[in-house]
Amino acid sequence: MNTPCQTDRSTLERLVRRSGIAVAALVLLTSSLFAYVVKLKDGTLVFARAPYTVKGTQAIITLENGNVTQIAMDKVDVPGTIQYNKENFGNVVAIDAPEEKPKQLPTAPPRSNNPLGDLIKQRGTRMGLPTPGPAAPVSTSGTGAKSGEAAVDPVYQAVFTQVFQGAEISQFRVVSARGRTRILVTADSEQAVFSTLSAAAKAMRDAFARGRSDSVEIVLTASSGEPAGTFDMSPAQAKLLVDKNLTVQEYFVRNVIF
């Protein structure tokens, strides 16, 4: 027969074990949300599932959503990445729990060299759209209108040229089509698409400050000639992106036109 003291002790031990399981579950949840952060030399933080791997001159990164991207190693702040993950608890968590089996991420299927183009092909087929043909090459100067083209608004020309060159986006053109400003950009990766949309939002903000309130059509094309998405960006959308009230990934999903 158990004495009251023995019963209380047994109950206390069960509560302690349950509390330990709850804490371990909470730590596992935190680590799954923020596994690793890759810091770039320009200060950009790329949130990943695990530390990057190096292949040649590229850092191969598995993003939080499972997509795999690559960034040139000369753009990665290696010491800064190590320091950031050391100082920010929750990005890398080691749990000493013998009863817990190591969490294994699913093996990602082989990816092509043009994931955006493959995605657009698949969605285009489901929507009954024709397979896109080769696109006209995009100028690297970004300035001036070709013969037969309407004159470009000088304000949009100036702000997009300044912001894009500052963001090291070299393959773009600012043109006028059907009375609207259109930005033609070559983007060969998901990271390039997101960087272009972020830079475009900043340029739209600057144009709005100089009295321009029209939306701008942004046409992204891979160097292979396949479309990488079209966007009709308004000043209000640009402000949400610049103020970080909307992520560029969310903007892409909500507004991309194939």
Tell me: the pLDDT tens digits for 37-49?
888 998 888 888 8
Residues 54 and 162 in one domain: no
Would 92 be classed as within a structural domain? Answer: no
Query: Span 1-29, mean pLDDT?
Result: 50
Name the average pLDDT for the chain. Answer: 76
Residues 133 and 240 in one domain: yes
Would 102 be classed as within a structural domain? Answer: no
Would 217 be classed as within a structural domain? Answer: yes
Averaging pLDDT over each range in 36-45, 69-78, 87-96, which range is the top one? 69-78
Would 104 be classed as within a structural domain? Answer: no
Read off the amino acid at residue 244. K
Categorize the per-residue pLDDT at 12 as very low, low, confident or very high, splitting at 50, 70 and 90: very low
- Nearest CA-CA partner of 174 in 164, 231, 134: 164
pLDDT score of 75 more than 90: yes
Would 251 be classed as within a structural domain? Answer: yes
Quote the number of domains for the chain.
Answer: 2
> Of the residues 87, 104, 130, which one is the last residue of a structural domain?
87
Give the distance, in angstroms, between the CA of residue 165 and the centroid of all CA atoms in the same chain. 20
* pLDDT at residue 31, as a whole number: 44
Provide φ and ψ at 127, rounded to 5°: -90, 0
Task: Please count the helices (runs of H) and the strands (runs of E) in the chain.
Answer: 7, 9
Give Cα separations from 61 to 30, 71, 143, 181, 210 (angstroms).
20, 8, 34, 35, 39
What is the reported pTM? 0.48
Query: Tokens at residue 104, please?
Result: 């294994």
Residues 122 and 246 in one domain: yes
Residues 63 and 123 in one domain: no
Residues 220 and 149 in one domain: yes
Averaging pLDDT over each range in 94-98, 122-126, 232-236, which range is the top one? 232-236
Rounded-to-integer distance, Cα 53 and Cα 44, Å? 18
The range of the structural domain enclosing residue 119 comes to 115-255
* pLDDT at residue 136, as a whole number: 43
Residues 64 and 162 in one domain: no
Strand bridging mode 216-221 / 180-186: parallel
Give the distance, in angstroms, between the CA of residue 81 and the centroid of all CA atoms in the same chain. 18
Residues 138 and 70 in one domain: no
- CATH number reported for the structural domain that contains residue 55 in this entry: 2.30.30.100
Range of lowest pLDDT (6-20, 41-55, 131-145, 230-244): 131-145
More confident site: 129 or 242 = 242
Range of lowest pLDDT (114-123, 145-154, 215-224, 243-252): 114-123
Residues 244 and 136 in one domain: yes
pLDDT score of 68 more than 70: yes
Percentage, residues of the chain above pLDDT 90? 44
Range of lowest pLDDT (49-58, 101-110, 158-167, 206-215): 101-110
Would 165 be classed as within a structural domain? Answer: yes
C-beta of residue 240 within 8 angstroms of C-beta of residue 246: yes
- Nearest CA-CA partner of 215 in 156, 142, 143: 156
Residues 152 and 63 in one domain: no
Residues 236 and 184 in one domain: yes
* pLDDT at residue 127, as a whole number: 37
Residues 42 and 82 in one domain: yes
Rounded-to-integer distance, Cα 226 and Cα 130, Å? 12
More confident site: 47 or 147 = 47
Would 41 be classed as within a structural domain? Answer: yes
Residues 225 and 138 in one domain: yes
> Of the residues 41, 72, 87, which one is the last residue of a structural domain?
87
C-beta of residue 174 within 8 angstroms of C-beta of residue 160: yes
Would 103 be classed as within a structural domain? Answer: no
